[in-house]
Amino acid sequence: MTAPGAASPDTPIAGLVELALAAPTFQQLIARASDRPDDLTLVGPASARLFVASALARLGPLLVVTATGREADDLTAELQGVLGGAVAVFPSWETLPHERLSPGVDTVGARLLVLRRLAYPDDARLGPSLRVVVTAVRSLLQPMTPQLGRQEPLALSVGQEIDFDGVIARLVELAYTRVDMVGRRGEFAVRGGILDVFAPTAEHPVRVEFWGDEITEMRMFSVADQRSIPEIEVDTLVAVACRELLLTDDVRVRAAELAAQHPAAENAVTGSVSDMLAKLAEGIPVDGMEALLPVLHPAQDGANGAHTLLTDQLPEGTPVLLCDPEKIRTRAADLIKTGREFLEASWSVAALGSGPENQAPVDVEQLGGSGFAELDEVHTAATGSGHPWWTLSQLSGEAVLELDVRPSPSARGHQRDIDGIFAMLRAHVSTGGYAVMVAPGTGTAHRMVERLTESDIPAAMLDPGATPKLGLVGVFKGPLHDGIVVPGVVPGADLVVVTESDLTGSRVTAAEGKRLAAKRRNTVDPLALTAGDLVVHDQHGIGRFVEMVERTVGGARREYLVLEYASSKRGGQNSTDKLYVPMDSLDQLSRYVGGQAPALSRLGGSDWANTKTKARRAVREIAGELVSLYAKRQASSGHAFAPDTPWQAEMEDAFGFTETVDQLTAIQEVKADMEKPIPMDRVICGDVGYGKTEIAVRAAFKAVQDGKQVAVLVPTTLLADQHLQTFAQRMSGFPVTVKGLSRFTDAAESRTVIDGLADGSVDIVIGTHRLLQTGVRWKDLGLVVVDEEQRFGVEHKEHIKSMRTHVDVLTMSATPIPRTLEMSLAGIREMSTILTPPEERYPVLTYVGPHDDKQVAAALRRELLRDGQAFYVHNRVSSIDRAAAHVRELVPEARVVVAHGQMPEELLERTVQGFWNREYDILVCTTIVETGLDISNANTLIVERADTFGLSQLHQLRGRVGRSRERGYAYFLYPPQAPLTETAYDRLATIAQNNELGAGMAVALKDLEIRGRAMCWASSSPGMWPASGSTCTCGWSVRPSRRTGPLPTARR
């Protein structure tokens, strides 16, 4: 524990907690716990968890158990604010034990590192010795492979001599994937004597240079541009495994035996148990293989030798503290029930095929050994192994010790209550008490000091880790969610702690998470290239990517992309020429995008030059009218908005999340455009949930500060209603009038809004295409924001296009339409891209497969288990009620409601609003939810007949889930017996493969390829484009357009 008064940036609230623990109630707790009783029952509010855990950690290692993963993450962040790196969370799998999905590499890595630190507390390479481990009940009950903590990671350090080939073999054993270029955790790459490794627990990959078998240098590098990060020094690499079930020789032999005993039937579907066993026997990892642990890792030390529990991995005598034991017991029962359903759904013979005579290759009951254990069993095993079992409950009962603390007053955003809290703080400090306010962000903390000072309350920012002072309100920047009142921290003085969430009612996450670097913005991303991909070189034409190599030229080692071209020799049909392109010349390359495979160009010939000449001539003829519109916009005089005002900064500081680097860059680009005297026409391309709406909010507020009106145009009434709430909430407290105009708006309100637009009393209006109808007049329109442009019809787009010559236009899309994408790549329209995912966001786990009722029921129950909600998409209005009835049969305990576009407007609005307010659990709906709907508590999506949807639709639907800290799940299902068309197969394969964060642009480009190029030029010579076949064709349009007027240069 940090000593009183000691300041440490890593433990910002250590001094605060140190002061609180001096109170008699916590001293009594420490004295009682020192005797290590088998059972200790405590009663206290939720805000006491941090202080109780900190007090108990003084006595030795401690395991704290919460009901949910979110509670575990929150408590971990708070404890790290006191104990720093001596606290770690033991995360739960994102999947249930019998689900046909494997846990993420980063999750597995974090779990294995915690187990290793517990087993080897003195290993300084792993970090400081752990004093507190926090986990959810899910991890407490889940069996795991024995001796995981003893599993030896790969450890490398500068100066070490180690067999280079042995290192590569060890990485393969630890389930790392070998690639040409490292881009994700769990991958490694080899080029000569250089080894790149991206460990599951690392923020950046490490490049290890060997001289023979000696490690001469190690350095971190960025996945964005593969360049070193000189400000981060590294001399040691510890790479833990990427899977908890490794395909050792023993496991592969066991899998081969089972596969041989029960070969797959001819009609067995892909993914059957037999098929899985055959792949595992060959050393090929399979999704969901962890559920086969009981049969692949048979018992060695009695019946339970195949698996152990977390409590078995703890140091001797480590107490287990359960926070809210009542909630934990309920959650444990639900977990066991849902896990059982996934066992039956995933491994039933009917669903997954079988061996001869319909005999399953493994016993389902035997597989149940990898499921959750009963809480009472874990309790008995823990106490029997010498681990005391303690509880902290909020409910009064037969408590051994009731803590003398209480929650601090809460305002939950109500100004009258906030004034009451301020009055209480003023009186408290004036009578000699300790008072503290805690905020998660620096800007928020400084604003707290200002507000307190304005209210005549003495206040000051305190250094991280400092001890609060008497006579003033000390303000900390730190991780604390709930306030507390602790009597008697010193004789005659109480401590009052108030947090930002006590005042506002909302929890803000401002902790720095692992931030992945923004992806490179070159047209060709070498991380995404695979052998055989077609690319286009500006000077040499269409070539085929072969590999990446490293060569020494002129005494310097450089990396090159190797491209293959048609032979330049006559009669050399079977030979090819190669071109080596340096990594720093990638701006000369672009991906080939076309619907048919072209012939490779010849190096040094005139074919490519002739193709470019013809294409330029075609572009010049076709693009004139289109480009003239944008040239007029550039030449016309628009409104130059003033620089940001203090109100702008205040509104932006109130944003409840940490902006990403790309988000901040896009905001600055938008503001720079707005401050120019030329009408803005910028496209914001960011994946679903990446913060495009916040950019629109800030741009709209900036426009209103200059006395201009703003129109926000959205494709659906649901999105209009949601944006209306978002804009109104963000601009509350400022003199800005925000109104909505859609089919949800009644006639009287519509008239009022339209009149307000005409007389200027309405500053911002958010609506559907009704904003484009005749009769809507503006007093001084300055900015038009278009969300999801691809969802508007041709007439609406023409109307929007006519606006672009005299007002600023901001277009936002996750998967832009081909025309917008092409014109943005060409530089005709400016484009900002948001490629960096928000902090604490995870990729959506995506399952594509045949429809099975048992799996659907289990997936829905799994979501209900974490108090979440689900979308069930059935895209036929005529049968949607039958689909909803079927869902009710599958999950009778769920509250199911139906929504579709043909419902009466008031009913639809009430339905969606009710789902938003968590009055329903499952929304059975059509694709009305496809665009922009943001319900952070809904994190499971099930799509019927996914084979009938477009690729962009599938991606947009998937974007409705995974928009919070919870892992999202998307199930794209098709009829098990119906044949898939080639196009449907391509779309489903694409959506399954592009499931990482930020896949929107990849999906958009793939959609272009599947459908063939829908060029923005609408050319009468379609055969010209496959000949050039790349986005570089668009770049050629910039040259002729300069004759008409100045255009922005193409952004690479």
What integer pLDDT is reported at residue 355 of this predicted model?
38
Using the predicted structure, report yes or no on whether residue 993 has a pLDDT greater than 80. no
If pLDDT is split at 50, 70 and 90, which confidence band does 83 have? very high
What integer pLDDT is reported at residue 674 of this predicted model?
93
Amino acid 20 reads A
Which tops the pLDDT comparison, 730 or 654? 730
Length of the chain: 1052
Rounded Cα gap, residues 70 and 1049, in angstroms: 46
Mean pLDDT (whole number) for 596-608: 78
pLDDT tens, residue by residue, 286-304? 888 887 887 787 654 434 4
Q: What is the CATH number of domain 37-149+305-402?
A: 3.40.50.11180
Ranking 715-724, 739-748, 1022-1031 by mean pLDDT, the lowest is 1022-1031
What pairs with residue 853 in β-bridges? Answer: none
Rounded Cα gap, residues 149 and 153, in angstroms: 10
Residues 413/503, Cβ–Cβ less than 8 Å: yes
Give residue limits of the domains in the chain.
1-35+412-517, 37-149+305-402, 154-239, 640-834, 845-996
Identify the burial level of 797 via C-beta atoms within 10 angstroms of its C-beta, where 0-12 means exposed, 13-18 middle and 19 or more buried: middle
- Which of 241, 261, 252 lies closest to 283 in space, CA to CA? 252
Using the predicted structure, report yes or no on whether residue 940 has a pLDDT greater than 60. yes
Q: What is the CATH number of domain 154-239?
A: 3.30.2060.10
If pLDDT is split at 50, 70 and 90, which confidence band does 189 have? very high
If pLDDT is split at 50, 70 and 90, which confidence band does 820 have? low
Rounded Cα gap, residues 243 and 108, in angstroms: 6
Q: Which CATH architecture has domain 845-996?
A: 3-Layer(aba) Sandwich (3.40)
What integer pLDDT is reported at residue 315 of this predicted model?
92
What integer pLDDT is reported at residue 1050 of this predicted model?
32
Rounded Cα gap, residues 1052 and 189, in angstroms: 27
What integer pLDDT is reported at residue 548 of this predicted model?
82
Dihedrals phi, psi of 798, to nearest 5 degrees: -65, -40
If pLDDT is split at 50, 70 and 90, which confidence band does 1024 have? very low
DSSP 61: -
Rounded Cα gap, residues 292 and 294, in angstroms: 6
Mean pLDDT (whole number) for 605-610: 78
Q: How far separated are the first and last CA of the chain, in Å rounded?
A: 51
CATH 3.40.50.10190, applies to 640-834:
no
Using the predicted structure, report yes or no on whether residue 630 has a pLDDT greater than 90. no
Tell me which H or E stretch contains 461.
Answer: strand 459-461
Identify the burial level of 554 via C-beta atoms within 10 angstroms of its C-beta, where 0-12 means exposed, 13-18 middle and 19 or more buried: exposed
Using the predicted structure, report yes or no on whether residue 836 has a pLDDT greater than 90. no
Identify the burial level of 570 via C-beta atoms within 10 angstroms of its C-beta, where 0-12 means exposed, 13-18 middle and 19 or more buried: exposed
The domains spanning 154-239 and 845-996 adopt the same CATH topology: no
Ranking 185-189, 466-470, 952-956, 1022-1026 by mean pLDDT, the lowest is 1022-1026
Residues 310/372, Cβ–Cβ less than 8 Å: no
Using the predicted structure, report yes or no on whether residue 516 has a pLDDT greater than 70. no
Which tops the pLDDT comparison, 575 or 503? 503
Which tops the pLDDT comparison, 97 or 724? 724
Residues 485/1015, Cβ–Cβ less than 8 Å: no
pLDDT tens, residue by residue, 406-429? 999 888 767 788 889 999 999 999
Taking only Cα atoms into account, the Rg of the chain, rounded to an integer number of angstroms, comes to 31
Half-sphere exposure of 866 (CA within 13 A, CB side): 29
If pLDDT is split at 50, 70 and 90, which confidence band does 721 have? confident
As a whole-number percent, the residues of the chain with pLDDT over 70 amount to: 78
If pLDDT is split at 50, 70 and 90, which confidence band does 769 have? confident
pLDDT tens, residue by residue, 863-898? 888 778 999 999 899 999 999 999 999 999 899 999
